[in-house]
């Protein structure tokens, strides 16, 4: 078997499967239960199995819900308790889809694993932005190690999302999940606060809201309820709008500031996932610190395995726990890391 295709039930993974089926006679469709499979999830797997049978593709479902809780959900909760704003999708790609799921595919005899991500791999295996600038998902893949990317395949890398429905219709294929969610898959209704409360974690309680100079201007009901850059929902009356500048778990204090004090020029990361050796980085590099942010020119340095980025112009303060991805002008991912802090 040459390739296992991770199928979720949505249109992107279905087209990825169909495209690879055109190229390779021996393809496996692999569906992962990342959440404990309930009746709806089991029905989805049955629908996928029928669709794969019609395509002449072998199908297998694997329950990875316990591993998903350990590798994704529990670190997500712990990060909020620690005052961070995590990016669970980036961690899931690294640890689950191109980690444990890829390992399962290998045990079944697959040489590589394909997904419906909008990203590309270069001739030397480098991770590149997808052809669709609106849907490009290289940012969410930037923490995946080079060794894992060497066994990856992205059939939709050259496609535009807008063309996918028509191509599926042309092939007579209808995804079992016709509507795609933009939410984190394990958070019902995208309400992360309600989700965190339901996990039984010891979430920090109320504390002060302070200005940078230490003046108290109000109180919060838990640092985990807030994120960097937030304006609405603070419940603070002040002479000008205030924004969340920082969360200080050691003092259980929420630090706020006027918008003029929110921008920064630098940020740093934890140990970086280096995909291109620093000696091959171009002089001009670009960095992205959240998915919807356009890449910004930056000076980059790898010191003691960690990224230090200095932006050429101020940017909105990034939140610790999010991902900083470093690119060159062609869209090649050079390195990425989880943000630890930012400053002037």
Q: Report CA Rg, the chain.
A: 22
Per residue of the chain (344 residues), give pLDDT as tens: 689 999 999 999 999 999 999 998 899 999 999 999 999 999 999 999 999 999 999 999 999 999 999 999 999 999 999 999 999 999 999 999 999 999 999 999 999 999 999 999 998 889 999 999 999 999 999 999 999 999 999 999 999 999 999 999 999 999 998 777 667 889 988 899 899 999 888 898 999 999 999 999 999 999 999 999 999 989 898 989 999 999 999 999 999 999 989 999 999 999 999 999 999 999 999 999 998 888 999 999 999 999 999 999 999 999 999 999 999 999 999 999 999 988 76
Q: What is the pLDDT of residues 220-247, one digit of tens each?
A: 999 999 999 999 989 898 989 999 999 9
**Residue 153 bears catalytic tag:** no
Look up the pTM and report it.
0.93
Strands (DSSP E) found in 7-115: 27-33, 58-63, 112-114
Q: Are 317 and 255 in contact (CB under 8 A)?
A: no
Q: Are 247 and 254 in contact (CB under 8 A)?
A: yes
DSSP state of 320: B
The two three-digit tokens of residue 327, written as one number: 């690119």
Instruction: Give the chain's end-to-end CA distance (angstroms, integer).
Output: 52
Active-site residue among 89, 92, 153, 290?
Answer: 92
The two three-digit tokens of residue 60, written as one number: 């297998």
| Residue (of 43, 48, 101) closest to 72 by Cα position | 101
**Residue 92 bears catalytic tag:** yes
Residues 6+ apart with CB under 8 A from 113: 3, 4, 5, 6, 30, 97, 98, 101, 102, 105, 151, 152, 153
**CA-CA distance, 318 to 341, in Å (whole number)?**
8
Residues 6+ apart with CB under 8 A from 26: 1, 2
| Residue (of 48, 155, 151, 168) closest to 107 by Cα position | 151
């Amino acid at each position: 078997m040459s390739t296992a295709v991770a199928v979720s039930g949505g249109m992107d993974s279905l087209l990825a499967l169909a495209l690879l089926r055109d190229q390779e006679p021996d393809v496996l469709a692999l569906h992962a239960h990342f959440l404990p499979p309930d009746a709806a999830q089991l029905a989805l797997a049955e629908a996928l199995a029928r669709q794969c049978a019609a395509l002449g593709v072998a199908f297998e479902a694997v329950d990875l819900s316990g591993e998903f809780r350990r590798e994704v959900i529990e670190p997500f909760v712990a990060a909020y308790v620690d005052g961070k704003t995590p990016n669970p999708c980036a961690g899931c790609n690294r640890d689950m889809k191109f980690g444990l799921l890829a390992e399962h595919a290998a045990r079944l005899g697959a040489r590589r694993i394909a997904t419906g991500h909008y990203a590309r791999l270069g001739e030397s295996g480098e991770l590149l932005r997808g052809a669709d600038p609106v849907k490009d998902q290289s940012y969410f893949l930037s923490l995946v190690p080079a060794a894992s990317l060497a066994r990856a395949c992205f059939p939709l890398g050259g496609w535009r999302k807008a063309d996918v429905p028509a191509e599926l219709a042309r092939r007579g294929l209808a995804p079992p999940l016709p509507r795609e969610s933009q939410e984190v898959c394990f958070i019902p209704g995208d309400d992360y606060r309600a989700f965190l409360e339901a996990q039984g974690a010891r979430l920090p309680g109320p504390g002060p809201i302070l200005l940078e100079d230490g003046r108290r201007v109000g109180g919060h009901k838990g640092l985990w309820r807030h994120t960097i850059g937030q304006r609405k929902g603070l419940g603070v009356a002040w002479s000008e709008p205030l924004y969340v500048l920082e969360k200080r778990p050691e003092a259980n204090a929420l630090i706020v500031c006027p918008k003029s004090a929110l921008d920064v020029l630098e940020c740093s990361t934890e140990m970086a996932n280096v995909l291109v050796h620093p000696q091959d980085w171009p002089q001009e590099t670009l960095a992205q610190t959240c998915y919807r942010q356009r890449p910004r020119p930056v000076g980059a340095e790898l010191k003691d395995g960690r990224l230090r980025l200095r932006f050429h112009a101020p940017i909105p303060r990034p939140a610790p726990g999010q991902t900083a991805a470093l690119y060159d002008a062609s869209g090649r991912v050079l390195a990425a890391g989880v943000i630890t802090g930012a400053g002037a």
